[in-house]
Amino acid sequence: MIPSALLQEMTAWRRHLHRHPEFGFEETATAAFVAGKLRSFGLEVTEGVGGTGVVGTLRRGQSPRAIALRADMDALRIRETGSADWASQTPGVMHACGHDGHTAMLLGAASLLAAEGGFDGTVRFIFQPAEEWGRGALAMLEDGLMARFPFEEIYGLHNLPGLAVGSFCTRAGAVMSAEDNFEIVLRGIGGHAARPQWGRETLVPGCALVMDLQSIVSRRLSPTDIAVVSVTEFLTDGTRNALPGVTRILGDARSFSPDVSAKIEEEMRRITAGIATTWNLSAEVSYTREFMPLLNTPHLAEAVLACAAPVSATAQVMEEPMTASEDFARFLDYVPGCFSYIGNGEASAPLHNAGYDFNDAALGHGAAVHVATARARLRAA
């Protein structure tokens, strides 16, 4: 479906973007690159949506229907260890999640649909900033995305290391989890390591709290609920011979239901209060909800699988959801849609790894799925 000349262009675009990664809401050069390509294809283009977001609009035929195809543009604050010619030239920033590939795939789809059509209606090409820290989709929505560029359905693609190139998968319902962030601060009285009885140190109670938090999933939630509570940072104000008076415990929680998220927060606050009482400390708990659970619309997941089957080596239903998170879920609060995965190769490094690179062999497969989806959902007479 994707001409060889376009595949070569997409590869060049992807490698250019990989050389010049930009962090969330700083994607000014990336957005300008995307906007320039879209204009060269003949699309209507609006820049600066939600900060650095770009929306391209392509109309064909007479139908009033509209759908959206979305890609993310931001990179991560990771120092790349790869040695490819297109390795990052921005110190400490790299495309370690494949957003360079996602952007190139959607540009390729826009190019082909602009040149060949094959649909009746309007396709919105949404290039979103700041997915990695869960703010970009919300920023575009708060900037009037739905009113300014209305659409009825939305579709997104993400690469998946470990899945063979050319393979495609998705599922109805729960696909990716919510992410909640928490910070717990225990405050007591620090003191000399040789005289623990003279103060109210916070390190031992902090360690007890870390262990007790693990009981939320194992003992406070139903075994049928999927959830993860992870402590990722443990920080104190102590030193080698001084017991700390302040301990900070940070981490995140993953779940697929608002009720489970609420239960995790409730139990975390209860356990923390108990530890504070036991050790005569004060405690503060900050609990925020950063990502919503991503729930695919069932009939659209089935439709996208049908679209992907003719243009993929395999198109299959995912066996289970992932406990990673994606702010594509924000769009699904407004319209139905489907988020799917294409293979990045069985030997690919993991996402968010300093040695990761998007597999250029996957570009054509992703663009083909975008094109097939647009043509199927906006079927021409």
Q: What is the CATH number of the domain that holds 198?
A: 3.30.70.360
The per-residue pLDDT for range 27-38, each reduced to its tens digit, is 999 999 999 999
What is the band of 12 on the pLDDT scale with cuts at 50, 70, 90?
very high
Q: What is the mean pLDDT of residues 72-84?
A: 97
pLDDT of amino acid 75:
98
Among candidate residues 243, 271, 291, the one where a domain is terminated? 291
Q: Shortest CA distance to 176 belongs to which of 318, 64, 56, 5?
A: 318
Binding-site residues from annotation? 97, 99, 132, 158, 352
Asked if pLDDT for residue 381 goes beyond 90, the answer is no
The mean pLDDT of 273-299, rounded to a whole number, is 97
Kindly report, residue by residue over 325-335, the tens digit of the pLDDT. 999 999 999 99
* Judgement on whether residues 158 and 248 belong to the same structural domain of the protein: no
Last residue of a domain, one of 232, 262, 291: 291
| Residues 98 and 225 placed together within one structural domain of the fold | no
Residue 109, pLDDT score: 98
> Are 73 and 27 spatial neighbours (Cβ–Cβ below 8 Å)?
yes
Total length of the chain: 381
**Average pLDDT of span 19-44:** 98
For the chain, what is the domain count?
Answer: 2
- Are residues 263 and 301 located together in one domain of the fold? no
Verify that 77 and 163 share a domain, yes or no. yes
User: Which of 134, 126, 357 shows the shortest CA–CA distance to 254?
Assistant: 134
Q: Would you tell me the crossing angle of helices 363-377 and 298-308 to the nearest 10 degrees?
A: 120
Mean pLDDT of all residues in 118-139: 97
User: Are 166 and 196 members of one domain?
Assistant: no
Same domain, 143 and 195: no
* Residue 313 confidence (pLDDT): 94
283 shares a domain with 252:
yes
Kindly indicate the confidence band of residue 20, based on its pLDDT and cuts at 50, 70 and 90.
Answer: very high
If we measure between CA atoms, which residue out of 139, 137, 149 comes closest to residue 56?
149
Q: Are residues 373 and 253 in the same domain?
A: no
Q: What pLDDT is attached to residue 1? A: 79
Asked if 129 and 264 sit in the same domain, the reply is no
Distance CA 113, CA 90 (A): 33
Which amino acid belongs to residue 239? T
Q: Please, which residues bridge with residue 121 across strands? A: 60
Per-residue pLDDT tens over the stretch 183-208: 999 999 999 999 999 999 999 999 99
CATH, residue 307 = 3.40.630.10
Q: What percent of the chain stands above pLDDT 90?
A: 99
Residue 168 has pLDDT above 80, yes or no: yes
Residue 340 has pLDDT above 80, yes or no: yes
Confidence class for position 135, pLDDT limits 50, 70, 90: very high
Find the domain containing 276 and state its range. Answer: 178-291
The alpha carbon of residue 30 and the mean position of all alpha carbons in its chain are separated, in whole angstroms, by: 18
In this prediction, residue 147 has a pLDDT band, given cuts at 50, 70 and 90, of: very high
Mark whether 135 and 18 lie in a shared domain: yes
Final residue belonging to a domain, choices 240, 258, 291: 291
Annotated binding site for Mn(2+): 97, 99, 132, 158, 352
pTM as predicted: 0.92
- Extended beta strands in 161-313, E state: 167-170, 173-176, 178-187, 191-192, 227-236, 242-243, 246-255, 282-291, 294-296
- Does residue 162 sit in the same domain as residue 247? no
